[in-house]
Amino acid sequence: MKPLNIVVIGAVAGGATVSSQLRRFLPDANITVIGKDSRMGFATCGMPYVLGGLVESMDSLVSVTPELFRDKKSIDVRLRHEATEIDRPGKKVIVRDLDSGETEALPYDKLVLSPGGSARTPEIPGSPSIPVFTLRHFDDMAEFENYLERTHPQRGLVIGGGFIGVELAENFRQLGIHTELVEHHGRIMPISDPDMSGLLEQEMKENGVVLHLGREVRSVTGDRVCLDDGSEFRADFIAAAVGLVPNTELAEEAGLTIGPTGGIATDPFMRTSDPDIYAIGDAAEGRDWFTGKPKRVPLAWSTHREAFIAANHIAGGNTEMDGLLGTSITKLFSLTAGMTGMSEQMLKEENMAFKTIIHESRSNAGYFPGNGKLRLKIHYDPDTRLILGAQAVGEKGADKRIDIIATAIRGRMTMDDLAAIEIAYSPAYSSPKDPVNMAGYKSMDRPGNRTDGK
């Protein structure tokens, strides 16, 4: 059989992973990877920590190189190249060298789209004299880091209170920068429940971040920022973290179906509306674990899983992408905040009946040094008692509990099962009845009854 010609568009997390998996499954395939950035396979999630100095070098975020892929995997990686057109009838991709301007047509049998997304840049009325930064590409980080090291700014404005916004605010405070954060929602981390967001807001205030919640930037004149409530303050720079726009232009121009979330529509094997073209990562649309409705989760775990699914299917496998929980976690000063599955707002929007259990405790034995506060919140179906979602905020151990519950959801376990999970115990790590166990016990309103048929 003639070796497959496979072209991968995008060389960051999804593109690097899918090409590696393809080589593992298809040792004879001809694989070419096209990337617009100056680096490949870099860890975008680590960028705020490079700026804050917790990660010493931005080069630490680069795990692979084109030379490594060429020498170890026989994969042709072309950085600083852009795919400008997909010729579906001719099964060719038109690629332009961004440095020389030369173009080339690359034939493909299978094409994988991993174009990622572009950072949204908010419109800032007025006449600002201060720089506005976004953090999406490797060169964005390099430019931002250079500015911080060269000018040593004293005051910064963060626009956006999601994952990247709060992480940037923390890292600016670590640098001693007076930081003000503007979020148009009435709370930070609006994806989580209000009471859990409140814990994070308090942590930010205690660490010197000035919050402007439910507010918008009205104008910036010089270095003077004016909000829509009339308040004003100075800033030396603006860091915008207001989400991303999936890069679907190439797919749209090729006539591929775009789903209701704005991502490239895919089937459970990550195939687009063209069976020879696959889409993965931030620009791809999957489906929700609970509802089966279209869902786009621009996070690293889902990208890597989708990369495996696509490579496996191209190689003849039939493993499906069976739904996304949106499991996520972030560090914020002394706290960790994690979640999986449905939030209160999501459940209400879907008109799904649910009950909620909240358990507040220490992360491990209270007498053991280094224990921390932990708040665990779980939503579940009142009839089947299946777990619908969970959130945890704490000084220690939030990650462990969210990971256990994400596993329990995929295993279709009930609240009763949470009480029965035999969790490893030592005073340094847990309690004889772990917070996960306790949440299960607290949900039982009748002695010894089960409703899951086991």
One domain, residues 58 and 109 = yes
One domain, residues 124 and 109 = no
Domains: count for the chain? 3
Q: Which domain holds residue 350?
A: 339-442
One domain, residues 145 and 184 = yes
* Nearest by Cα to 331 from 167, 205, 188: 167
| 243, 269, 285 - which closes a domain | 243
User: With pLDDT > 70 as the criterion, what percentage of the chain qualifies?
Assistant: 98
Does residue 137 lie in a domain region? yes
Residue 230: pLDDT band (50, 70, 90) is very high
One domain, residues 234 and 260 = no
One domain, residues 110 and 254 = yes
Which residues are bridge partners to 111 per DSSP? Answer: 7, 277
Does residue 450 lie in a domain region? no
Does residue 323 lie in a domain region? no
One domain, residues 108 and 41 = yes
Look at residue 450 and tell me whether its pLDDT is greater than 70. Answer: no
Residues 86-105: what's their mean pLDDT? 97
Determine which one of 45, 213, 226, 358 is catalytic. 45
Q: Which residues contact 368 (CB under 8 A, 6 or more apart)?
A: 427, 428
Does residue 320 lie in a domain region? no
Worst-scoring range by mean pLDDT, 46-60, 337-351, 416-430?
46-60
Does residue 214 lie in a domain region? yes
Q: Which long-range contacts (CB under 8 A, 24 or more apart) does 267-276 make?
A: 268/309, 268/320, 268/321, 268/322, 269/309, 269/310, 269/313, 269/318, 269/320, 269/321, 270/306, 270/309, 270/310, 270/313, 270/321, 271/313, 272/113, 274/88, 276/91, 276/108, 276/109, 276/110, 276/111
pLDDT digits (tens, 9 = 90+) for 114-136: 999 999 988 889 999 999 999 98
Residues 262-279: what's their mean pLDDT? 98
Does residue 24 lie in a domain region? yes
One domain, residues 225 and 300 = no
One domain, residues 196 and 95 = no
In this structure, what is the dihedral angle of CA atoms 156, 161, 162, 166, given to the nearest 10 degrees? 50
Which residues are bridge partners to 362 per DSSP? Answer: 373
Look at residue 252 and tell me whether its pLDDT is greater than 90. Answer: yes
Residue 453: pLDDT band (50, 70, 90) is very low
Look at residue 415 and tell me whether its pLDDT is greater than 90. Answer: yes
Residue 454: predicted pLDDT: 41
Residue 452: pLDDT band (50, 70, 90) is very low
Residue 131: predicted pLDDT: 95
Residues 411-440: what's their mean pLDDT? 95
One domain, residues 72 and 142 = no
Does residue 448 lie in a domain region? no
In angstroms, the CA 362 to CA 58 distance is 36
Residue 235's identity, in one-letter code, is A
Per DSSP bridges, beta strands 117-119 and 126-128 are unpaired
One domain, residues 223 and 264 = no
**Is residue 284 within 8 Å of 259, Cβ to Cβ?**
no
Residue 230, number of CB atoms within 10 A of its CB = 7
User: Does 226 qualify as catalytic in the annotation?
Assistant: no
Give the single-character DSSP code of 264. E
Higher pLDDT, 452 or 137: 137
Q: Which two tokens stand for residue 381?
A: 């179906």
Does residue 299 lie in a domain region? yes
What CATH number does residue 390 fall under?
3.30.390.30
In angstroms, the CA 75 to CA 96 distance is 19
| 187, 208, 243 - which closes a domain | 243
One domain, residues 173 and 283 = no
Give the helix/strand (H/E) hosting 245: strand 244-246
| 205, 224, 243 - which closes a domain | 243
What CATH number does residue 56 fall under?
3.50.50.60
One domain, residues 104 and 156 = no
* Nearest by Cα to 138 from 66, 42, 54: 42
